[in-house]
Structure 1
C-alpha cells in the first residue's frame, strides 16, 4: 500500500468516535501540525449520553494527555483534577471493619501538578476545546469500503467521507470492528454493576465517616455485593477554572461528589438481564438499598442520597486475548480493540496511551519518515503488549473483589 506522501499530498485522517481516545488523538494530531482530520460522533452533542463520572488517571494516562494537549488545556486539566488527600485503597466489610487491600505504587509521588483523577465530563469538555469544525456530531457510522487505496466511511444519514486512514475509536460496541472482525467480541464476566453519583455534601450529611471521605474505598458485603466509593473533589470548580485558563469555554457549575459502583454477580443478583437493564435510576437505587438493608447505616446513607438521574446499570466485559488487526488503513484504538472491566481503573488510560502512540505513528507517516503499514504494525504490536497487561491486571482485581468470576480460558470462551 502506498502512502499519501508517495502520492504527493497530506494525510487525511477520519476518526470514528468522539470519546476520550478519539478526541485525544485529534488533539495530538493538531499539535503535530496535521489539520486534515475529522471526528465523527454519533451523539447529537457533547452532552448526548452518560459519560460516566470520576476517572482515575494513571501515570501513563497523564503522560499521554500532556503529550497530546496544548499547554492551555493541560493547565485546565490540572486545575480541575481531583484534590488529593489520603493515598491508596482502604477496604472494609459492610459493618466498616477494616479488611486487607492491595497496595499500589505511583512513581509520580507527591508532584504538585499530579493529575490522579478527573471528572469524565469535564475531561471530555477539555478534549473538545478548540476542535470546532473538526468534531461532527449526529453522525452514526454504518460501514466503510476500500476504494483505490483510500477508505470511504458511510453514515446513517446517507453521507460519506473519504480519507487515507480510518481510526476505529467507537468503543466496545464498535461498528468498525463488527465489519472488519465480526467474530471478535468482548466476554461477559457475569458481573452486573450499578453506577451512581452522590453529592459529597449529602453523603457527609448522611453520616459518612471522616476516614472514608477522601480516599478510594472498597466494601465487601456478606451477601456477595461490593461497593467501590471514590471521591471527586475539584482542586478548582470547573467553571472557575475555565474562566481563569480558557475564558469562553463555558463550563457548567459542578459540585464535589462521590462516584459509587455497586457490583454483584448475576447469579447472586437473581434478575434476568432484560429486567435489570430496563430499570430506571430510582429503581436501581431502591434495589441497592434493599440489598444493603443490613449494612452499616453510614454506608447506606451514601446511596440513599445518590442522584437517581445519574444512576445506571452496567455489565462488566473484557477482550481476551487482545489481538492486533491486520496492518492497513483501518486502525483500532481503545475499547474497540481492548475492552476491559473498570476494576483496574485503566481502560480510559489505555485508550489515552493508544492515542498518543498512534499520533506519533501517523505523524511519522505524514512527514514521510515511515511507510503507513510499518508504522501501523509497530503501533499495534506495542498496543497489544500494554493493553494485555492492563486487561490482565483489571481481571485480577475483578477476581479479588468478586470471587464468583471464573477467569479460566474454557469458561471465558463459553461466555
Structure 2
C-alpha cells in the first residue's frame, strides 16, 4: 500500500524547508497554500542568519542545494556595528565585528539573504507537490489519518499527519492548541524598503543603525546591512527596516498589507530631515518594494502546552511568532524544520510519539527565542506591553 503523504499547510519559508526535509528522506508530502501563486505575496525584508540557523538549513538541504543557497547569501565583515544619530549624523556607538559575536555566523562574517531569494531556493523541487489557492480553515482527524478542510467546502486527500506552517494567523494552530496559541500586537509598526547600492556608498561596509529621537511619540529606528561583495554592482538592491511606535508609523486606514508608493512616501516624509549620509537610502528607494508591517509577537513567557495530537503539530510563526529584532524568528523556524524533519526521517514517516518529542524540545528553545526577540525589540524599537491579541 502506498504511503499516505504528510500534509503541510502554508507555503512560506517553514513550510518549504520542512518539505525539503521530507523530500530528502523520500517521504511523500503535499503543500496547500492560500495564495493563488508563488509570486503573489510580498517577500519582505532581508534576514540575518545565525550560526544555529545556518546549521539547521545545512542539515536539511543536500550539500549541492545548500551550496546554491549559501552562494546567494551576502557576507558582511567590514566595520562591525555602528550606530548614528539620524539627524545630526553623529556616531553614538561602535563595536568591531570581533566584539559582536552574536552578529557573526560563519568565518567572522554576518550572513544574510533576502526572504524572497531564500523562499525561491527552498521551493526548488517542491513545485509538483504544491497546491495554490487552497484556503485552509480547519483539519479533521480520520480513523487512520487527517484531512484539511478548505473554505470552499472541499477537502484534501487523507494524509498520515499534518504540519501547520501557515503563519501568525493560523486557524489550525488555534484549533490544535484549543486557543492557547495567541499572537499579540506589540503596538510597534514598521516599513521595509530597498534601494540600489549607489544609495549606500557613503556608509561603507557593516551593520548600521540610525535613531531619530526628535518625536514626542517615540523614537524612529532603522537598521541596515551593507556588504562589500555587492557594493560595486549598481543593479543590486540592499534593504533597510524602519520601526517605531504606532503613533509615528501609521498606514492609511490602518491597513498594514499596503505595499508600494504609499509606504515609500511615508518613509521619505519621516526621514526628510535626516543627515545627508542616510537620506539617499530613502530618497532613492525602489518605491514598488516598500511595505508596511504590523509588528507582532507571541507571549515571551514561554510556548504554552496543549494536549498533544500525535498526527498534528506546528512550526515557525504558527507556534512562536516574533518581532523582527535580530532575525530570531526565522532562525528559530528553520530549527523547527530541522528537528521535526529529522524525527520524521528517522521514523521513515509518521509514527506515534514524533509530535510529542518535537514539541517538548521546541518549547525549550522556542520559548527562549521569543523572550530574546521581545526584549531586544523593547530596547531598540520602543515596543510596550503586549495587550491586544490579533
Q: Which moved more, 1:227-236 or 1:75-84?
A: 227-236
Cα distance in 2 between the residues matched to 1:234 and 1:324: 45
Choose the corresponding residue for 2:303, options 314, 322, 329.
Answer: 322
Cα distance in 2 between the residues matched to 1:126 and 1:275: 33
Choose the corresponding residue for 2:41, options 40, 49, 54.
Answer: 49
Q: Give matches, 1:206-245, under 5 Å.
A: 208-209=201-202, 212-222=203-213, 223=215, 224-231=219-226
Other-structure match for 2:341: 359
Normalised TM-score (structure 1): 0.82
Choose the corresponding residue for 1:26, options 1, 19, 31.
Answer: 19
Q: Give matches, 1:16-415, under 5 Å.
A: 16-34=9-27, 36-86=28-78, 88-94=80-86, 95-100=88-93, 104-106=100-102, 111=107, 116-157=111-152, 158-180=154-176, 181-182=178-179, 184-201=181-198, 203-204=199-200, 208-209=201-202, 212-222=203-213, 223=215, 224-231=219-226, 255-269=235-249, 271=250, 274-275=253-254, 277=256, 281-320=260-299, 321-328=302-309, 329-366=311-348, 371-372=351-352, 374-403=353-382, 405-407=383-385, 412=387
Superposed CA deviations along residues 283-342 of structure 1, whole A, max 9, x for unmatched, are 222222222232102212211111111111111111013224432211000000100001
- Answer whether contact 2:259 2:292 (CA < 8 A) is retained: no
Deviation of 1:23 after TM superposition, in Å, equals 0.8
Cα distance in 1 between the residues matched to 2:257 and 2:11: 26
Deviation of 1:164 after TM superposition, in Å, equals 1.5
Cα distance in 1 between the residues matched to 2:248 and 2:130: 43
Cα distance in 2 between the residues matched to 1:187 and 1:342: 14
Cα distance in 1 between the residues matched to 2:110 and 2:130: 26
Cα distance in 2 between the residues matched to 1:138 and 1:279: 21
Q: Give matches, 1:4-23, under 5 Å.
A: 10=3, 12-23=5-16
Deviation of 1:12 after TM superposition, in Å, equals 2.7
Superposed CA deviations along residues 217-237 of structure 1, whole A, max 9, x for unmatched, are 111102221111223666799
Normalised TM-score (structure 2): 0.87
Cα distance in 2 between the residues matched to 1:236 and 1:44: 35
Deviation of 1:105 after TM superposition, in Å, equals 1.3
Unaligned residue ranges in structure 2 (runs of 5+): none
SS at match of 1:116: strand
Matched length = 377
Superposed CA deviations along residues 188-220 of structure 1, whole A, max 9, x for unmatched, are 11101011111112x14xxx42xx232221111
SS at match of 2:223: strand
Deviation of 1:9 after TM superposition, in Å, equals 6.7
- Answer whether contact 1:68 1:356 (CA < 8 A) is retained: yes
Cα distance in 2 between the residues matched to 1:387 and 1:87: 31
Calculate the aligned-residue CA RMSD, in Å: 2.9
Cα distance in 1 between the residues matched to 2:288 and 2:209: 24
Unaligned residue ranges in structure 1 (runs of 5+): 1-7, 238-252
Cα distance in 2 between the residues matched to 1:100 and 1:67: 36
Cα distance in 1 between the residues matched to 2:278 and 2:248: 21
- Answer whether contact 1:81 1:115 (CA < 8 A) is retained: no
